[in-house]
Structure 1
Amino acid sequence: MLIGILQTGHAPDALRPSHGDYPDLFQRLLRDRDLDFRTWAVVDGEFPQGPHAAEGWLITGSRHGAYEDHPWIPPLEQLIRDIHAANVPLVGVCFGHQIVAQALGGRVEKFPGGWSVGRTEYDWNGERLALNAWHQDQVTQRPEGATVLASSPFCENAALLYGDRILTVQAHPEFPNGFVAEMIEKRGRGLVPDPLLDAAKASLDAPLDDARLADRIARFFHERTAA
């Protein structure tokens, strides 16, 4: 199954030599699950021909805000609406989670409660999943028809399901602890309050449920085909 990765940002320059760029992180997360990948760097103006250029779509994270004025955001929102209308499966992560909500009528804002960084536990329909987070923006108003799949005390809309074809997640299952450790020191200092970074650093040895969520994402793709 061909998954089109819609790349909406680049990993920090200091992290790319050791970890690669965002599409590399997702391909490692979802490896050995019968998925093939092609990347379109929409952040650089590279777009697919339409919603059927891939059998499923994945929108990455980004340092940009969904509400910011960038020339690639309006066409990305239109592509999301086209994918939705075409019933092609779509997964969005962090910025991807937010831009899908915005494109379909929701609201994304810089959360007044501040940042969520590092290992975070989410209530996923009664099941606890621990995933790495790195965000200040949140979906503060869900689009009509969006169902909450996961939440935390800090993030009400932590995972959303739109019908049976769109799944979005605020956390970063593609961020292993080693990546977060470097993000803390090479990007976080001076941007995120030190107490949050120190707490995130202290939890780097705790286990994560990335593989469980990766299984769910792969199953979501495989169980849905374009109508």
Structure 2
Amino acid sequence: MKSLYIIKAGSTFATEVARLGDFEEWVRRGLGDVACPVAVVNAEGGEALPAPELCAGAVVTGSHAMVTDNLPWSLGIERWIRELIAVRVPFLGICYGHQLLGRAAGGEVGYHPRGREVGTVSIELTPEGQRDSLFEAIPARFVAHATHAQSVLRLPEGAVHLAFNGFESHHAFQVGESAWGVQFHPEYTREIMQTYVRDEIAGLEAVGEDAGALREVVSDAPFAGRVLTNFASFVFRTL
């Protein structure tokens, strides 16, 4: 039987893993009940990616790495994503995975010209996003957790633009019939987001910058998590 693969592209802070778990665990919890086996592949750690014909679907996690560093394991995921798209394997890229999808399909990834987006942010769906199965039962405006320095600066040709906000033009898009990327983190809880905001505040204060704007920006994001359960439902329909 085919499996739904979670491709681990990084880890959270080493000091927080014991308390919070790690990226792949957050994604697995967020997917909920899945009608096929779920397997984790640690691509950053050197584990081999599965053949596309073995995949019922795939989710690529976030990472503390940068796509433009062109690390060998990251370039390997990028090539693999192109293989998945070619045979229409359901795919969801989250943050780093979203950016890898963008570049794999011919878009441009780089540092956001306005710097880092961190916190619980407002997201707006485009008309196409409001009709897309990935955002089923999610309102046209909702909040989600985000933390990223790089972005998909230019969407791939033919991609469908699904979501944005005042800071990030490309918070979600679709390539082909069954590949999606979301720049925000549907797997994050409020506690996880608070941990990342604290880290960002510490980093800003360490170089003498004002972190006040980040201090009151974390709230619950009840709708964003439905992206993962909606993706799991899409995978089930394609089995």
TM-score, normalised to structure 2's length? 0.86
Deviations 1:52-100 (A, max 9, x none): 2221000000011111131212221111111111111100000000011
Q: Give the aligned partner of residue 11 of structure 1.
A: 12
- What is the SS of the residue equivalent to 1:175? coil
Q: Give the aligned partner of residue 180 of structure 1.
A: 193
Q: Give the aligned partner of residue 155 of structure 2.
A: 142
Q: Distance in 2 between matches of 1:16 and 1:177?
A: 16
For residues 17-166 of structure 1, the aligned pairs below 5 Å read 17-34=18-35, 36-125=37-126, 127-166=140-179
Which runs of 5 or more residues in structure 1 are unaligned?
none
Structure 1 residue 40 displacement after superposition: 0.7
8 Å CA contact retained: 1:181, 1:201: no
8 Å CA contact retained: 2:3, 2:39: yes
**Which of 144-153 and 47-56 deviates more?**
47-56
Identity %: 26
Q: What is the letter of the counterpart of residue 195 of structure 2? A: E
Q: What is the letter of the counterpart of residue 53 of structure 1? A: L
Confirm whether residue 223 of structure 1 aligns to residue 224 of structure 2: no
Q: 1:188 to 1:40 in 2, by over 3 A?
A: farther
Q: Give the aligned partner of residue 211 of structure 1.
A: 225
Which runs of 5 or more residues in structure 2 are unaligned?
128-139
Structure 1 residue 206 displacement after superposition: 4.4
Q: 1:123 to 1:18 in 2, by over 3 A?
A: same
**Which of 82-91 and 216-225 deviates more?**
216-225
**Which of 29-38 and 135-144 deviates more?**
29-38
The root-mean-square deviation of aligned C-alpha atoms, in Å, is 2.1
Q: Distance in 2 between matches of 1:71 and 1:125?
A: 35
Structure 1 residue 128 displacement after superposition: 0.7
TM-score, normalised to structure 1's length? 0.90
Q: What is the letter of the counterpart of residue 32 of structure 1? A: D
